[in-house]
Chain A
Amino acid sequence: MEFIENITGMDATAFTAMIPNMLVGCWQVIQIFLLTVLFAVPLGFLVALGRTSRFKILSGIIRIYQLIVRGTPLMLQLMFCMYAPSFLFGLTPHRFAACIIAFVINYAAYFGEIFRSGIQSIPQGQYEAGKVLGYTKTQVFFHIILPQVVKRVIPPTGSEFMVLVKDTALAQIIAQPQLFDIAIKTAAKNVSITPYIAAGVFYLIMSAVVEFAFKKLESKLDYYR
């Protein structure tokens, strides 16, 4: 016990109480992560389609959306989603919902960019081969183009997923409970930096799981180039 107190600068009961708290924080991180992925990935796909659309107005609007979202801090976007509704309409949004909306809007823009570059990296010859074999445009896209796009976007998407794990800490700015919040509060209460280090370890573990999963996925699609 003394050993723990010496190296952590926290008393042993506080230290052992911190761990379950942090696990709760991790679960909150995972919830933000999963909901963001669930909505932002399909939305990002639509963003990519809109961006590559022949309709100039649509692709223009989407480009402006991406510029705004990628050109302003995520922290600011979180505050906007949390506080703007009450300024504009006198509504107080649900905190967790505002948090998820901000993350989804932000990440859909980045996923959109990743998927767009993936779609555009497929050689024109693939479309032409599909066309001369009599496939419809929809068949060409879903059976020939999309599977190849998936393979190509997996590494950058995995990287973005890892960023998302850490970006959940920004939800602190709208007082959304999650791991970082617990780290700050525990550190303040015990006057110790150990909670920060512990939180760092938890973030690392969660990121490592994402990294591992994506490596696995990558090697699964390794059978062709």
Chain B
Amino acid sequence: MNLIEANHIEKSFGELQVLRDISMHVAEGEVVAIIGPSGSGKSTFLRCLTQLETADRGEITICGKQMMHTEDNHAVFADPKTLHEITLCAGLVFQNFNLFPHRSVLQNVTDAPIRVLGVSKSEAQQTARTLLEKMNLSDRADYYPCQLSGGQQQRVAIARALALNPRVLFFDEPTSALDPELTGEILRVIRQLADEHMTMVVVTHEMAFARDVADRVIFMDGGVIVEQGRPEEIFGDAQNERTRAFLSSFAQN
């Protein structure tokens, strides 16, 4: 079953067309890595799927619920209740973590379940402690985000997203704001989630990670999906000239 179905997505910022007819499907349990140069539309695409941007045209269905479709060349969005259900079904981890600085680590993870899902405080805390343990952060529950390293903050952000028990998790360049020595710990967590068959879409510049963890790699450039396939196809035998040029620029570094 496809948890994400996006068809013919178009998005412009004023005159600038950022997404041109993007179609992508993600099956349950699949891990998809989206790679591509800056400005290729990867993040905008992710933001359209997570309702942080509104696509101009196209059709998006997430967790079996239609988020938007197009009528007479205009986007039509689902009712607020459906959109809220879709929000809860899909989590997002940001490049800059966006933790709540005035709340402790534990509160960051428990607040949404309590306030949004109406879970009891003790139950939310129990879930949160399990998640923090999984993120190897048990001893940091009472810390504040400013007292943590970037890698720890990002792991809290992942725990916070998981606390709502989403079926899909989106990552928007989760390691781009981190020092190289801290990216490993985040990638390990994502890999662990992949082993548990969490459905994930990861926008990333970590090619080695995309190759090792993803079931499928999508290469985007200029607002279109240039090429996609299994990692060994993309990294070993890319068909498209632009894909090869992009990957070779990484190989040189």
Contact = CB atoms under 8 A, between A and B. Distances in A.
Given A132-B52, A133-B164, A135-B116, A144 B100 contact: yes
A132 B96 contact: no
Given A134-B116, A224-B144, A224-B146, A129 B101 contact: no
A131 B87 contact: yes
A93 interface: no
Interface in A132-181: 132-135, 139, 143-144, 147-148, 151
B118 to A, nearest CB: 11
Contacts of A132: 50-52, 87, 90-92, 161
B52 A223 contact: no
B98 interface: yes
Interface residues of B, number: 27
A225 B101 contact: yes
A26 B146 CA distance: 43
A11 interface: no
Interface in B156-190: 160-161, 164
B134 interface: no
Interface in B19-57: 50-52
Interface in B71-112: 84, 87-88, 90-92, 94, 96, 98-102, 111-112
Contacts, number: 58
Contacts of B111: 143
Contact of A135 (B50, B51, B99, B115): B115
A123 B111 CA distance: 19
A125 interface: yes
A66 B43 CA distance: 39
Given A128-B52, A128-B94, A223-B144, A135 B102 contact: no
A128 B157 CA distance: 13
Given A131-B51, A132-B87, A134-B84, A126 B115 contact: no
Interface residues of A, number: 19
A131 B52 contact: yes
Contacts of B144: 223-224
B133 to A, nearest CB: 21
Contacts of A134: 84, 87-88, 112, 116-117, 164
A126 B100 CA distance: 7
Contacts of B99: 129
Nearest to A144: B100
A218 to B, nearest CB: 14
Contacts of A224: 101-102, 144-146
Nearest to B92: A132
Nearest to B163: A133
B64 to A, nearest CB: 18
- Among B50, B94, B98, B115, find the residue whose CB has the most chain A CB atoms closer than 10 A: B98
Nearest to B145: A224
B94 A139 contact: no
Nearest to B116: A134
Interface string A23-62: 0000000000000000000000000000000000000000
Contacts of A131: 51-52, 87
Nearest to A148: B102
Interface of A: 123, 125-126, 128-129, 131-135, 139, 143-144, 147-148, 151, 223-225
Interface of B: 50-52, 84, 87-88, 90-92, 94, 96, 98-102, 111-112, 115-117, 144-146, 160-161, 164
